Amino acid sequence: MATVIDLEGFKYKRQEFFALGKKIVLCHGVFDLLHPGHLEHFYAASKFGDVLVVSVTSDEFVNKGPGRPIFDLPTRMRALSRIKGIDYVVPSFSNTSVNVINTVKPNYYVKGSEYSDAQQDITGMIQIERNAVEQNGGEMVFTNEITSSSTSIINEHLSPFSLDTRTWLQDFKTKFSVASIMKSIQDLKNLKIGIVGETIIDSYTRCTPLAKSSKDPILAFQRHETESFRGGVLAIAGNCSEWASHVCVYSHVATLSDGFLTSENSNVEYDLFKSIAKPDILKHRFVDSGSGNRIFEYYDFAPEPFSEIEIQGYWDHLESQLPNQDIIIVADYGHGFLSQTGIRTIEKNAGYLAVNTQANAGNRGYNTIAKYKRADLICLNGGELQLELRERNPNYLKMVPKYIERMQARHAIVTLGAEGLMVFDSNGDNVRVPALSTKVVDKVGAGDSVLAIASMLSFINAPIEVIGFLSNIVAANEIEQLGHSKSMTIVDLQKSVKGLLG
């Protein structure tokens, strides 16, 4: 039975093997579902040296689509440790094996034959890993054993999705090739995106319940750590920056530091209206540490709009800036930044315009899409459309085309939570796409992520099925994390497509 050990522990073992002149062989992967191809690969790899090490990608870095991995990291490592021929199993807490390679310093780094053509590697990581191996004095080699696809086996026999979702995916695969979807994703890379709306600080404080208060009929909690994330237009910018060439944020800030605003990506620019007349918007959620359920939420904001006199100069400035962008995305959270003058300025000067008017606790009942006269993409959730129509059970098939016609839109999206979403176009066609999320951690930001990717796909006139499919992949990524802690890179998106359709 192989030894399960962390990288730090293996570092000392490696020194022993080096002193004894033993050659180390390294294999790396997810290994979510072990199959005969894996076993043959490990057997062939073991012939290259004396000690076989297998490193395993941790759960948070498995980019195989929603619902993956099927088995968590401890389970996958335990299964590998029982395979004859493997000597050590180590976890890899990264989206590449470079850190493992630098620590293990293998004499041979062994991959399957499907990785031998670096030009077919959408991640570009094979060459990076090869460089790391060679810099550490090793050699990358490839086995030529039988190959099988864990992804194909899981999709066919162990899919985490409902029968309806599996049926939809199978039908989708008959209409659209992986290559055609990859082309749509690649077509986003040269776009310039402008994002207009409120900047929001999303804070989360974890708490543990204690007991009922002795003096009042309330439950007492023990407070733990607090995390703050970039929300509102900053979260949308984080998403778009991973797919587009350039992103510019047009928003208001009062006292937020540059450190909080700054994106990890250098292609994000900020053109901000700075004024202390309204405070920065904070939305603070208290979360039960055990269940993840919300306990309490409060907003710290000034709901009154800016005076037209104070903000007029900013809108005048944007008249010359907005036309520089391919797409203008308006995320209207209804907290006073987007005045009627601002909206008219945007409508007049934006080329391709995507709009979402969000209904939330701070604006419910008066922040609706009726504020806007035109948009090329309308993105709303079912509840927002209910408010707009004043109907409990609106007929989307009847009403959404009317909004498309009134606003002269190309596309409209209605997000429906666990039921997925619907995409409509100006030709009268529509499609309903099932949700792809299998784990719900935090619903905040899911609609914003749909707005981000759908705006770009609508601009390049992607098929409505593709718009819905990719939008639901991005939404699933958002739902499975607390706050907006991680955007999907373009490679993450491509790997998820391959994982779902492979």
Q: CA 432 to CA 465: how far, in whole Å? A: 8
Widest pairwise Cα distance in the chain: 79
The pLDDT value given to residue 263: 72
Return the closest-CA partner of residue 28 out of 169, 140, 191.
140
Q: Answer for the pair 155, 167: CB distance below 8 angstroms, yes or no.
A: no
Q: Helices in 322-463 by DSSP H: which ranges?
A: 340-349, 382-389, 396-407, 446-459
DSSP 21: T
CATH number at 3-157: 3.40.50.620
One-character DSSP codes across 206-237: EEEEEEE-SSSSSEEEEEEEEEEEEEEHHHHH
Tally of CB atoms within 10 A around 51: 22
Instruction: Retrieve residue 423's tokens.
Output: 């995409």
Q: CA 167 to CA 170: how far, in whole Å? A: 5
The pLDDT value given to residue 394: 82
The pLDDT value given to residue 120: 63
Residue spans in the chain of domains classed CATH 3.40.50.620: 3-157
Q: In angstroms, what is the C-alpha Rg of the chain?
A: 25
Q: Is 349 helix (H, G, I), strand (E, B) or coil?
A: helix
Q: Answer for the pair 305, 342: CB distance below 8 angstroms, yes or no.
A: no
Residue spans in the chain of domains classed CATH 3.40.1190.20: 182-199+255-280+305-501
The answer for residues whose C-beta is within 8 angstroms of residue 315's C-beta and 6 or more apart is: 339, 341, 342, 345
CA-to-CA dists, residue 201 to 195, 257, 360, 362, angstroms: 17, 12, 15, 15
**Residue type (1 letter), 15:** Q
Q: Is 377 helix (H, G, I), strand (E, B) or coil?
A: strand
Q: Which residues in the chain come in under a pLDDT of 70?
A: 116-123, 145-159
The pLDDT value given to residue 60: 86
The pLDDT value given to residue 259: 82
At the topology level of CATH, where does 182-199+255-280+305-501 sit? Answer: UDP-N-acetylmuramoyl-L-alanine:D-glutamate ligase (3.40.1190)
Strands 219-232 and 199-212, how do they pair?
antiparallel
Return the closest-CA partner of residue 71 out of 82, 56, 89.
56
Q: CA 89 to CA 183: how far, in whole Å? A: 37
Tally of CB atoms within 10 A around 502: 17
Distance of alpha carbon 473 from the chain centroid: 8
The pLDDT value given to residue 153: 60
The answer for residues whose C-beta is within 8 angstroms of residue 466's C-beta and 6 or more apart is: 176, 180, 181, 184, 457
Tally of CB atoms within 10 A around 84: 10
